[in-house]
Each structure stands twice: as C-alpha cells, then as structure tokens.
Amino acid sequence: MKKSVGAKTILYPTPALLVGTYDEAGKPNVMTAAWGGICNSQPPCVYVSLRKATYSHHCILAQGGYTVNILPETYVRQVDYCGIASGREGDKFASAGLTPVPAERIHAPYVAEAAVVLECRLVQALELGLHTQFIGEVLDVKAEEEVLDAHGRVDIAKVRPIIFAPDTRTYYGLGAFLGPAFSIGKGLR
Amino acid sequence: MKKSVGAKTILYPTPALLVGTYDEAGKPNVMTAAWGGICNSQPPCVYVSLRKATYSHHCILAQGGYTVNILPETYVRQVDYCGIASGREGDKFASAGLTPVPAERIHAPYVAEAAVVLECRLVQALELGLHTQFIGEVLDVKAEEEVLDAHGRVDIAKVRPIIFAPDTRTYYGLGAFLGPAFSIGKGLR
C-alpha cells in the first residue's frame, strides 16, 4: 500500500560529490554536492546544483568551470565535512586534509584523493529556485589507475563511491553486483 | 597516479529509474533512465534526460508530466528490460510484468511495483544535444509503507534501489551504512 509523503526531494541513489573551484584570489575551494548527475551523452554533460548562498556558486560563474570529484567511501568523514563548513571560513582543502591539484582543461582544482575526477566547462547556469543548476561539459575524466578494469573502464566496485540518501540524511557504500546492463532483461522479451 | 580516460559520461552512483508516461492514445508506457537526479530543493525538482528517439520523449511533451519510479533490486531484470525494449513495439508494462496505476496529480501512470514514486509536472525541457533534459516539479512522493522508518521517512536501506555504473554498464545493490550526514564530518572542524 502506497502512502503519500508529500512533495519532497527524494531520489535513490544520489551521489555525494566534491565540487572543486578557485575563487577570484585563486584560493582553491571544495564543497559537497548531492544534487548532481549526468544529463547528456553527446556532448558529455553533467551538472551540480548549488544554492546561491554557497561560496562555490560565484566561483563557478567567475571561472567558467569546475571539477566533480568522486571520493572512495573511506573518505566519508572528509566528504561530509565539506558539506558542513564554508569556504568563507578558511581553507577547506587544508582543514579537510585534502590536496588541491590544478586541472588541465579548466581553471579549477581537483582533489588528489579522488578516485575519479571530471573536468567540466560551464555551458549553462539555470536558475531553478533555491538552487542554480550548473551544467558542465565534461572535457576530460581522470581516474586512479587502480580503479580501472582490464579494459581500461572505470570500475565502480573499485571506486567504492559514497551514496547519499536525502530523506534520512545518511551515507551508504556500494553493495553486491546485480548483473550486466542491456543484457539481464533480455529474457523478458 | 591518475590517468586520463577521455571525455566520457562517468559519475558514480547513477540511479536506474523507470519513467512512466501516457501516449496520445492513453497507452501507458515505461522506460529506464539513468540520467536523472535531484536538481532543486525549493520547489522540489528532479529531472530525467531522454533521447529524442525514445517513445517517451514526445509523451512527456504532450502530457506535460511524468512519474519517476524507484524499484527494488529484486526487479533488476524488469528495469533492464525497460531500457532495451521500445514502447513502439507494444505494451512494455505488460511484457515486463509491471502494473500501471494512474497518478493523482499529473496525467501519467506510475508503477505499482515501485517502492517510491515521484509525480512530476514538466516545468522545462532543455535541449542539451543528444538528450533533452526534462525538469519536473515534484508534486507528490508516494512510498510503500514498509519502506518508511519510524519517523515516516523513506529509508533507502528498505527501498534497496538499483545502482547503475555507466562505464562498465553494470548494476549494483546498496551496501553498508557509512554514517549520518551533516554529522560524521564535524570532528574535522
């Protein structure tokens, strides 16, 4: 039996991403974003949605780009911290114990400790209400060699990404392999 | 050591959602979308990005709304099937063994077997290239009573959502609890 729980932002799974930017003074900043995902295949585009009140918001607009960083579950405390503290208060990279590295294709820092990094050029900033949706074209993806499989693909089971659940405000890890996509459903045809 | 893997659509985790629509004849249709997520908090908005070639694409534009359905991992074969077959070929609800139910707030069907259902009113259709991003305002969320926790919140550990990994094209389940958000990182302050 289904029960209405109201008009809420519930969608499972959501990611727990770190967004890397430089401010006007060139200081690297990093913040956590769970409102993010893939929104186009060609050209490859992702987005992160940030509140105007965040320090990173104007940095993305000023620099025209940002990085999306996927950290392994062993960094869940650092990822959570970057969603609590503000870049206005000081150097979040330093206080979180994370290391900024200049990206190659855009003017933004990435997180050295990330398993996967997306370098994104801002293509559109869409005002949706409380949040601005920053759509970015993915110019390059960098991954730690140890998270690649034998075919050079980024293996989620080696990345061990953090999964965020908005309604209960909890983090989870990745679970068991369920099957290959575009394949296990074929038997129903 | 990080290695460039090129400009690809990699972001972990991504969801494996079912999108419910009616066509002009009133036939219920359902398709799988992994390009989807939350993009605004107030008003609560989500999106799904669909290729123009899909049957569901024009249905969303014609009806002005869609449902987002989160199915438990036990339905991974049906979810995969709905990403392989096209609504042009027949009744996908029937061939997948899923049950359409009219939504209350919009003209679209939801999936009875879903653990969580979002009823979404189309607010914007954004052409990004291969995909159109359909931003929808969440007018209501419905959840099976058994996936609610003691506080009436939708418990991801009871929902058991399907996690999709784009690069390796594989599905995974939810893993272990890692900690409470906006909390476990406080010690780093």
Q: Does B189 touch chain A (CB under 8 A)?
A: yes
Give A87 to chain B, closest Cα distance, Å.
12
Read off the tokens for A165: 């659940």
Are B42 and A130 an interchain contact pair (Cβ–Cβ within 8 Å)?
yes
Are A154 and B168 an interchain contact pair (Cβ–Cβ within 8 Å)?
yes
Query: What CA–CA distance (Å, rounded) separates B121 from B112?
Result: 19
Residues 127-186 of A with CB under 8 A from B: 128-131, 133, 135, 137-145, 148-149, 152-157, 159, 161-186
Are B156 and A165 an interchain contact pair (Cβ–Cβ within 8 Å)?
yes
Phi and psi dihedrals of B145, rounded to 5? -55, -35
Confidence grade of residue A60 (pLDDT, cut at 50, 70, 90): very high
How does pLDDT run across A120-142, given as a tens digit for each residue?
999 999 999 999 999 999 999 99
Are B156 and A172 an interchain contact pair (Cβ–Cβ within 8 Å)?
yes
Confidence grade of residue A187 (pLDDT, cut at 50, 70, 90): confident
Query: What CA–CA distance (Å, rounded) separates B15 from B132?
Result: 18
User: Looking at this predicted complex, what is its ipTM?
Assistant: 0.96
Query: What CA–CA distance (Å, rounded) separates B144 from B112?
Result: 10
Are A38 and B39 an interchain contact pair (Cβ–Cβ within 8 Å)?
no
Number of Cβ pairs < 8 A linking chain A and chain B: 374
Q: What is the pLDDT of residue B189?
A: 67
Residues of A with CB below 8 A from B6's CB?
Answer: 140-141
Domains plus CATH for chain A? 14-188 (2.30.110.10)
Q: Does A35 touch chain B (CB under 8 A)?
A: yes
Q: Does B23 touch chain A (CB under 8 A)?
A: no
Q: What is the pLDDT of residue A90?
A: 84
From the list B15, B84, B138, which residue is nearest A13 (CB)? B15
Cβ pair B117, B142 in contact under 8 A: yes
How does pLDDT run across A65-107, given as a tens digit for each residue?
999 999 999 999 999 999 998 878 889 999 999 999 999 999 9
Residues of B with CB below 8 A from A178's CB?
Answer: 73, 76, 162, 170-173
Q: What is the pLDDT along chain B (189 residues), one digit of tens a residue?
A: 899 999 999 999 999 999 999 999 999 999 999 999 999 999 999 999 999 999 999 999 999 999 999 999 999 999 999 999 887 888 999 999 999 999 999 999 999 999 999 999 999 999 999 999 999 999 999 999 999 999 999 999 999 999 999 999 999 999 999 999 999 999 886
Terminal Cα-to-Cα distance of chain B (whole angstroms): 29
Q: What is the pLDDT of residue B88?
A: 82
From the list B49, B80, B172, which residue is nearest A185 (CB)? B80
| Residue type at position B14 | T
Nearest CA in chain A to B132: A40
Cβ pair A109, A20 in contact under 8 A: yes
Are A172 and B171 an interchain contact pair (Cβ–Cβ within 8 Å)?
no
Give A25 to chain B, closest Cα distance, Å.
23
Are A182 and B168 an interchain contact pair (Cβ–Cβ within 8 Å)?
no
Are B172 and A177 an interchain contact pair (Cβ–Cβ within 8 Å)?
yes
